[in-house]
Chain A
């Protein structure tokens, strides 16, 4: 790499990582301010003792797992169906699907809140876990559709017919050929759903009602109150988790690439 290239890349990466690293540094600081007072792990102990945060973490993971699984099934089925529509109908369905991706989060959030409020009055329920889950499935599914559709378009339909000719029944052929062929797209869609769901604040904030807490809502409450180094400890742990996941995915990708070469 040219020296000027290296310098520029380093500069941008410094800009992107420096704030996170500073947070991590202060998570070990024995004091509540940003003045270094010595090393401690107290904030980590506090973090794990905090029932609210642990509860929020559990809720976040639960919503993310369920929402991304449902979205993956719903979205994959939808993509297979949409692929068989032609002309104007197809364009219409895809546009509505894109609308929900392009609508600003805050508009999606308030519009769902409006509907859940009205539905809640009519059918006597309150916003909470279920409304957040429904909202998450709604904003995740279009991403699954979007990542599966291109794979379908590239798929060779005759392989499916060959499987039938060679004695597969319809379900076997579907499972062994179609799903197998779509798997990378399905996986990407699942991963996108999972991360969007984990990361979402805005839509959760508007659809959670008064008591349901997820991690991002909890972080919002914590950062709005007094600054607590517990947040720094939380950031550090999340950062480490993300790095580990990314490295694993990257290694897995590389192994797959080698297999096909």
Chain B
């Protein structure tokens, strides 16, 4: 029994996934060093290194135990996430007008980050037990939509617009995996703008609206508003563009060391990277993310059961939407929303969450040839 819990001779370790994750994390840490070196906070990259190592160890632990055990406790995991969201609203630490963090000494933990992965686990559990051959009707979507909606409402209460939006996108991505009736598809398409209008009217804060408007202005007239709310987007584009083909060289950029992107460590690390390493570096990094997401889909396709597939697609979609929103923001094709670039942005909660996700992915990948004991 112990043998089957951790090791089976059919298991095949996924060196490709581990290598890609290792590569992106390493580049991310080096990049953080560049953003910090001239600003008098070079120790940040070390902090990041600790989180990556800690998260990596966690990921291996998560990966080794066959995921059928997680499947069993799927709803507990989801419920635990919801409980944390409730607790953070009651006891969380307020920073900059929003309550997102548990503060434990120096360390601040953000439950909404973890919630994204726990939501995937919850949805995977539900879909695992609800196999369908025919298309899903609207009522079939009710439970997963409720699970997602509950998480979103709690996260919006904090408020954390970006993460709530991400939960919605993850939900939609997972649902795209299933077969929907024409009516269900239309319902989802029609409800999206309605939700958007309601969200704009009642949920967005003024500063968030200003950023969306500034994005729109920048889109219409790139020269306008570059000192106001569009400052970040404009500076980010300048930094990326100025990298040209080969970049200005490591540690020789302006965006990070010169503070032209005040939030470069969390939101704009890609701009710093693209400025210093040019098109070759930036396109290379984009390719690594593309490869990572394609690998997630491959893991999903090779998974031994529905739970594993949904987990792989869910984690893949978290990564995908994080990358899309972040790169879209820094390249000026999307509004400025504080969404991190996986493994590249500074922040413990973000790193731990992604490492947890990679652990699950690795798990699904390692155990893809095992007999399915589940339903």
A binds B: no
B-binding residues in A (CB < 8 A): none
